[in-house]
Amino acid sequence: MKNISAFIKNNKFNFTIIILYTIIVFFAMFNHEIWRDEAQVWCVVRDMDFFQIFQTTRIEGHPVLWYLILLPFAKLGADVITMQIISLLFVLAAVICFVFKSPCGNLLKTFVVFSSGLLYYLPVISRNYSLVPVFLFLTACLYSKRKENPVLYALCIIFLANTHVLMLGFCLILTFLFCLESIKDKINKKSAAAIILLAINFIFLFLCFWGMQNVNHATAFYAQNPKDILTAIVYFAQIFFLFPLSMLPGWFSCLLFYILLFLTLGFYLKNDKKIFTILFVSLCFQWYIYYKIWYIGIVYQKSFLLMLVILFCYWIYTKTSENKSKFLTFITAVFFIISFISSYFNIMLEANYQYSGSKQLANYIRKNLNDEKEFIVWGYPFCFSVISAYLPDKKLYMIDREYYITYYSFDLDNKKTKLPKPESSYYITVAGYTIGYDYEKVFQTNPDIINLTEYNEIFSIYKKRKKL
């Protein structure tokens, strides 16, 4: 008991920051309405068989790990809130690891933990991004012990590589450097086993993603007609400064971001060539992906992944270097201070507005139309995956495509069997789609939503008028 008491006493700051963090993220999670990108994975693993899931992950361009984690819960009929809890717990585990194991001072810890990425975007919005921090931080913990525990180090890289495609460049350069070190130190049985595991993993991922941009209709156009890389580079920086510098010109946000980034690169180039290589290759790989696929689809989560790589580089440099740099600490802190400022806006928006009308619609149907088993839906089909996630017992019939929908297929060759229209008195439409005079609107979700994308998830329910 004395040891436990002493540990708690010596780590008062760490426990305080974790408790406060946990309260805030749970508050945000219970106020969050999932939207189509979150619901898509849940519906895929719930309604597809095991082999179909692997094919779908290839088409959608995401590694399979997040799907496999959700698979047993979705198959067993768990509520979709389970996905939100899992996402939050992974990031919470990452925060605990960071707070207790990183060499960062208390002030930098505060800025990192309460940055908008770790406080809001990764734990609250339930997507595969939530897996990145925990495996990245575990890799950082093992980095200095990679020669003593090469297999464990390799497994961390493998798990990290299977979180998000944007982490592949980072994982590849870590693997390449590890192989060079192993050859230089003469490969032993453990390092050989680690290299074999890493090779198998990257061959698997290469086979999964080779040519995927040409089979996903959402990326095929951009892949075949890419903009110049400068568009992606500028947009990437502007997204990161979205809230704190939104009143300033876009060019200023971009300039500030890249001044900070190149100062960081310049420091590592001078002081640690290996860390410079890790950060530079990771940056170039992400630029290439944005240019090739996501040049107009860069959301904050994507930008924040580079911030985590910058934090990794600071972690291993500070842990291994005899000379601590105040300059490097300052530059790294500035990145997270700007993200820290965004946190307030994100939490307040989540508390006062809806991210999607999905939860409100689902609650209305459960309360007022629970006896209805089928609904006719009209609008952008991807938007209805979120309704299916909240209402797994309801069947949704796409009137213009003549089939039932749960998840949305991005497959260019997707062909579904057409089915007859069901006898239903109710239509559900998404923003921008209306029904004729034969139907009256009986419900509409709140129009004040955060997620103002090209397809706003504001839903309406129409009921067929009775004939006089």
Q: How much is the pLDDT for 413?
A: 57
SS3 per-residue string spanning 392-445: CCCEEEECCCCEECCCCCCECCCCCCCCCCCCCCEEEEECCCCCCCCEEEEEEC
Asked if 152 contacts 139 with a C-beta cutoff of 8 angstroms, the reply is no
d(CA 429, CA 329): 51
d(CA 45, CA 61): 15
C-alpha neighbours within 13 Å on the C-beta side of residue 465 = 9
Q: How many C-beta atoms lie closer than 10 Å to residue 213's C-beta?
A: 19
d(CA 59, CA 40): 13
| pLDDT, the chain, mean | 87
Distance from the first to the final alpha carbon of the chain: 79
d(CA 315, CA 298): 26
Q: Which of 179, 171, 174, 164 is nearest to 128 (CA)?
A: 164
d(CA 222, CA 212): 12
Give the three-state DSSP class for 32: coil
d(CA 381, CA 114): 36
Give the three-state DSSP class for 459: strand
CA distances from 3 to 7, 9, 16, 183, 217 (A): 6, 10, 19, 43, 58
Sign of CA dihedral 339, 320, 180, 205: negative
C-alpha neighbours within 13 Å on the C-beta side of residue 238 = 17
The structural domains of the chain, with segments of one domain joined by +, span 2-31+80-352, 358-464
Q: How much is the pLDDT for 207?
A: 84
Q: How much is the pLDDT for 348?
A: 87
pTM of the model: 0.92
SS3 per-residue string spanning 82-127: HHHHHHHHHHHHHHHHHHHHCCCCHHHHHHHHCCHHHHHHHHHCCC
Q: How much is the pLDDT for 456?
A: 77
Q: What residues are paired with 216 via a beta bridge? A: 411
- Cα 141 to the chain's mean position, in Å? 22
Going across the sheet that includes 374-378, the strands are 403-404, 395-398, 374-378, 426-430, 459-464, 439-444
259, amino acid identity: I
Q: How much is the pLDDT for 211?
A: 65
Q: How much is the pLDDT for 30?
A: 92
Taking every pair of Cα atoms in the chain, the longest distance, rounded to a whole number of angstroms, is: 88
Q: How much is the pLDDT for 460?
A: 93
Asked if 367 contacts 43 with a C-beta cutoff of 8 angstroms, the reply is no
Q: Which of 365, 369, 396, 373 is nearest to 383 (CA)?
A: 396
Q: How much is the pLDDT for 143?
A: 95
Give the three-state DSSP class for 79: coil
Which residues have a Cβ under 8 Å from the Cβ of 126 and sit 6 or more positions away? 34, 38, 83, 84, 86, 87
d(CA 71, CA 73): 6
Q: How much is the pLDDT for 38?
A: 93
E strand residue ranges, 280-382: 374-378
DSSP character for 325? -
- To which residue do tokens 């779908």 refer? 56
H or E segment at 462?
A: strand 459-464
Residues (pLDDT < 50) of the chain are: none
R_g (Cα) of the chain, nearest Å: 24
